[in-house]
Amino acid sequence: MKAAIKYMLERDEPSAALSRPEQALWWLKKGGLAPGREWQIAHSLCQMQEGDSAHDLVHALVHWIEGDAGNANYWYKRTGETRAPSIEAEWDRIAAALRAM
């Protein structure tokens, strides 16, 4: 089983063993689930493989964090997923789902 992403935050960069969507989640958590440099890196990672459900799901969270509800809803609709009640809970939900893949 993969190590939990949030326990690797003491590093300067995510582990290369993580998938791109997991790396994006790592950057979001490293940045405090707020817009900024880490958010931009996460967004770029999500855009690398649009159409892949894991990338698109993290992409939805990225835009929720940004405060762009319309864009976030677009990505959630593409995935068919219903988001958790809070950004933190959604981060946890997506991280668990990606670990299980």
Under 8 Å between Cβ of 61 and 91: yes
Q: Per the structure block, which two tokens stand in for 37? A: 């440099």
The crossing angle, in degrees rounded to 10, of helices 37-47 and 20-30 is 170
pLDDT, residue 92, reads 93
pLDDT, residue 8, reads 74
pLDDT, residue 41, reads 98
pLDDT, residue 89, reads 96
Mean pLDDT by 10 residues, the chain (101 residues): 61 88 95 97 96 96 97 96 96 91 79
Q: Per the structure block, which two tokens stand in for 74? A: 């677009």
Neighbour tally for 85: CB within 10 Å: 7
Distance of CA 14 to the CA centre of its chain: 13
